[in-house]
């Protein structure tokens, strides 16, 4: 078996992965793990917190007076439907939920969407879906920054070994414009229980750019879950 990089190591090496999703299996093999974090460089992006909303979460302005444009920063990153957990970096969460409710698929939903209209970055839309011990990822992005062409990539994992998962994020690194993520989701190791993992992931995110973190452990035995949320703004 190849040696995997801990998720924390990849985060420490990258000052600005943007928004990121990690999905995998806990080290004790008893739970599926879902991680979602947001980062920001502008005051508008940094002026956010995660709050619970039913079985999921939503973003909310920390200081409503400083909110200038809610269009791409206020959304539901996590929703749950019939035991399936949807996690995304935008309002495509709702698109996926609507399509699943109609008996359609994750792919059907995302083929109706494209990257974010935030020139010159054209931020990719990243999405994940967890169902039982399997999970899926998607990234919708421009063709190397050319907004005339969209590239849709889908990845499916029937299961994974204990303590392993996959990590996809919007940006390869910081830059101007910011380069989009490229390649397959990165295979990573996931160590410890929910509190240890929450703490280590949060501490590994760039101190200046990190905004909020969500982690959920979903029991494979009965579907119950534990959630942790950490917000830089209190």
Which residue is it, tokens 């917190």? 49
Q: Which residues pair with 208 in a beta bridge?
A: none
User: Quick one: pLDDT at residue 61?
Assistant: 97
Tens-digit pLDDT profile for residues 109-132: 999 999 999 999 999 999 999 999
pLDDT band with cut points at 50, 70 and 90 for residue 3: confident
User: Quick one: pLDDT at residue 1?
Assistant: 59
Q: Which of 120, 102, 96 minimizes the C-alpha distance to 21? A: 96
Tens-digit pLDDT profile for residues 153-188: 999 999 999 999 999 999 999 999 999 999 999 999
Residue 217 has pLDDT above 90, yes or no: yes
Identify whether the C-beta of residue 136 lies closer than 8 Å to the C-beta of residue 154.
yes
- Long-range Cβ contact pairs of 90-93 (< 8 A, separation 24 or more): 90/116, 90/125, 92/125, 92/127, 93/56, 93/127
Helix, strand, coil percentages (3-state) for the chain, rounded to 5, are: 15, 40, 40
Residue 234 has pLDDT above 90, yes or no: no
Does the reported pTM lie above 0.85?
yes
Calculate mean pLDDT across residues 72-93: 97
Calculate mean pLDDT across residues 82-94: 98
Separation CA 230–CA 234 (nearest Å): 9
Which residue is it, tokens 């957990």? 85
Task: Using the Cα atoms of residue 20, residue 26, residue 31 and residue 32 in order, give the sign of their dihedral.
Answer: positive
Output DSSP code: residue 181.
P
Separation CA 215–CA 70 (nearest Å): 24
Identify whether the C-beta of residue 150 lies closer than 8 Å to the C-beta of residue 115.
yes
Calculate mean pLDDT across residues 20-40: 98
Calculate mean pLDDT across residues 193-207: 98
């Amino acid at each position: 078996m190849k040696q995997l990089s801990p998720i924390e190591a990849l985060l420490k090496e990258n000052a600005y992965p943007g928004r990121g999703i990690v999905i995998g299996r806990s080290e004790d093999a008893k739970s599926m793990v879902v991680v979602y974090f947001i980062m920001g460089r502008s005051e508008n992006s940094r002026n956010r917190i995660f709050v619970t909303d039913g079985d999921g979460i939503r973003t909310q302005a920390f200081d409503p007076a400083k909110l200038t444009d809610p269009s791409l920063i206020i959304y539901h990153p996590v929703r749950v439907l019939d035991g399936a957990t949807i996690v995304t970096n935008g309002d495509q969460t709702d698109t996926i939920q609507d399509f699943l409710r109609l008996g359609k698929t994750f792919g059907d939903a995302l083929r109706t969407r494209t990257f974010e209209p935030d020139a010159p970055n054209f931020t990719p839309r990243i999405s994940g879906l967890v169902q039982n011990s399997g999970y899926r990822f998607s990234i919708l992005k421009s063709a190397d920054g050319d907004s005339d062409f969209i590239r849709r990539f889908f990845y499916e994992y029937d299961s994974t070994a204990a303590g392993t998962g996959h990590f996809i994020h919007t940006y390869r690194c910081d830059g101007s414009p910011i380069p989009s993520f490229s390649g397959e989701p990165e295979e990573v190791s996931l160590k410890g229980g929910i509190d240890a993992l929450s703490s280590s992931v949060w501490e590994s995110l760039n101190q200046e750019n990190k905004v909020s973190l969500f982690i959920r452990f979903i029991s494979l035995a009965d579907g119950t879950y534990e959630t942790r949320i950490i917000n830089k703004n209190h």
